[in-house]
Structure 1
Amino acid sequence: MLKSLLPFLFIVAAQLASFSQNVKISIVSPRVLNDRRAILLTREKGFAAVVHSIQLGFDTTHLKMDKNLLPDLYQLQVSQLKGSLTFFFESGTVIRLDTGNVSKSIVTNSRSNSEWQHFNDSIQKPSDLRASKWVVEEARARKKNQQDSTRYWLEKQRTEREELLAETAAFIRRNPHSYVSLYLLKINWYALKNLGLFELLDNSLSTHRNYALLRAKKQEYSGAR
């Protein structure tokens, strides 16, 4: 019986290996945090959360993950520490933990995270700051019952949203090889689907699950017209 099962088990193991990869992550932290638990997870609509538990105190942690998952946006939380870190994770990523606020931890050895930071610092955050200002001004105008002023600030918010989408599309065009572009197109698909951006993405991204998702959405959209 065992002999008859061995070939089957070998095939299953080989198939599992072909769909997974050994992923490395290093979390540099003070010794006092040794044995503390960290959680690495995704939180995206449309996908079940991918969660990994990591014990601090090791130079490198090895994780088994599906080959089509990385690079992608992940969140790191550490037991009993304030804040959480959102970053683009790929194998070899190094995180220098900020024990005062995990969100301020420094991420290195991730090209995708550098691209993600560039997008956030140059496009997303400035837009968010302006949008927040327009919301405050709108609230003030409403409080004073200034209808013309209220409409003005609402229009400023609408324009800001449009400009953010335009800058996001421009980023994707400039960075067709980037997994960040793939992610941005996924989360903004319905606003950007008519701009031909999916066709601009480099074929090197085609093994990622986000690419497969967008390809399916593209086919669904094309078939519906």
Structure 2
Amino acid sequence: MTKVFLPFLLVLIFASSVFSQKVTISIAAPRSLNDRRAILLTREKGFAAVVHSIQLGFDTTHLQMDKNLLPDLYQFQISQMKGSLTFFFESGTQIRLDTANLSSSLVTHSKSNVEWRMFQDNIQLPSEKRSNSYLLAEGRARKKNQIDSAAYWLNLQNIENQDLIEKTSAFIAANPRSYVSLYLLKNNWFALKNLGLFEKLDPMLAHHRNYRFLKERSKGLARN
């Protein structure tokens, strides 16, 4: 029995070492949160969430994670605390918790998160702010039965959406080695698929599941 089972165990151990890695995350939190449970989970469209449980109160937490899941966009939540923190996680990331507003917590030691914040602050959030203002204006016009005015604000929304697509495309093209670019292309594939952006991505990203996902999608385009 032992002779039959031992090789199987060795295969499992080898597979685990090939497809997973040990990563670290450091969380600076008030002592009042010691022993509080937190969760770290992926925020990926099209993929089931991968969840990791973390106990606060330790300087560094070690996690065993699949190699193809990092770096990527993750969400951090703490039990009995409202809100969440969304950030680009990679091994060595450090978080200084803002207990008043978890989403404002400081994230450091993550190159990908710096790139993510750059995209968010300079492109995504300003665009969303403008789109929301146009949407509200359209709603007010429709309530007053101002058809021409409503059409005007709707057209501005369409223009803004197209502008966001163009700026997202430009970001990806300018950052071909970025995991943020990989994430953005995957999550905006239908809007960006005909722009040849996948071919511009650096092959160093090939280990990531998003790259493999896009590679299959690109093959489908080529066949069509």
Report the CA distance between 1:222 and its aligned residue. Answer: 1.9
Question: Partners in 2 of 1:43 and 1:72 — Cα distance?
Answer: 8
Equivalent position of 1:44 in the other structure: 44
Equivalent position of 1:71 in the other structure: 71
What pairs with 1:190-201 in structure 2 (closer than 5 Å)? 190-201=190-201
Which of 113-122 and 37-46 deviates more? 37-46
Letter in 1 for 2:175: N
What is the TM-score of this pair, normalised by structure 2? 0.98
- Give yes or no for the alignment of 1:119 onto 2:104: no
1:100 is paired with a residue whose SS is coil
Equivalent position of 2:138 in the other structure: 138
Report the CA distance between 1:69 and its aligned residue. Answer: 0.5
Question: Partners in 2 of 1:102 and 1:78 — Cα distance?
Answer: 9
Letter in 2 for 1:77: Q
Question: Partners in 2 of 1:35 and 1:158 — Cα distance?
Answer: 48
Report the CA distance between 1:182 and its aligned residue. Answer: 0.3
Asked if the contact 2:138/2:153 (under 8 Å) is kept, the reply is: yes
Which of 187-196 and 4-13 deviates more? 4-13
Report the CA distance between 1:127 and its aligned residue. Answer: 0.3
What is the TM-score of this pair, normalised by structure 1? 0.97
Letter in 2 for 1:160: E
Deviations 1:93-117 (A, max 9, x none): 0010111121111100000000000
Letter in 1 for 2:44: E
Asked if the contact 2:75/2:84 (under 8 Å) is kept, the reply is: yes
Question: Partners in 1 of 2:100 and 2:208 — Cα distance?
Answer: 35
Report the CA distance between 1:5 and its aligned residue. Answer: 2.3
Equivalent position of 1:187 in the other structure: 187
Question: Partners in 1 of 2:117 and 2:60 — Cα distance?
Answer: 24
Structure 1 stretches of 4+ moved >6 Å: none
Equivalent position of 1:214 in the other structure: 214
Question: Partners in 2 of 1:54 and 1:182 — Cα distance?
Answer: 27
Provide the alpha-carbon RMSD of the alignment: 0.9
1:68 is paired with a residue whose SS is helix
Which of 1-10 and 98-107 deviates more? 1-10
Asked if the contact 2:44/2:73 (under 8 Å) is kept, the reply is: no
Letter in 1 for 2:82: K
Equivalent position of 1:109 in the other structure: 109
Report the CA distance between 1:221 and its aligned residue. Answer: 2.2
1:77 is paired with a residue whose SS is strand
Asked if the contact 1:172/1:197 (under 8 Å) is kept, the reply is: yes
Deviations 1:192-214 (A, max 9, x none): 00000000000110110000000
Report the CA distance between 1:143 and its aligned residue. Answer: 1.4
Report the CA distance between 1:146 and its aligned residue. Answer: 1.1
Give me the identity figure in percent.
64
Structure 2 portions without partners, runs of 5+: none
Report the CA distance between 1:41 and its aligned residue. Answer: 0.5
Report the CA distance between 1:134 and its aligned residue. Answer: 0.3
Deviations 1:153-206 (A, max 9, x none): 000000000000000000001100000000000000000000000000001101
Asked if the contact 1:82/1:100 (under 8 Å) is kept, the reply is: no
Equivalent position of 2:86 in the other structure: 86
Question: Partners in 1 of 2:220 and 2:13 — Cα distance?
Answer: 34
Question: Partners in 2 of 1:202 and 1:91 — Cα distance?
Answer: 20
Report the CA distance between 1:118 and its aligned residue. Answer: 0.2
Report the CA distance between 1:147 and its aligned residue. Answer: 1.0
Structure 1 portions without partners, runs of 5+: none
Question: Partners in 2 of 1:77 and 1:136 — Cα distance?
Answer: 31
Report the CA distance between 1:11 and its aligned residue. Answer: 2.3
Equivalent position of 2:128 in the other structure: 128
- Give yes or no for the alignment of 1:28 onto 2:3: no
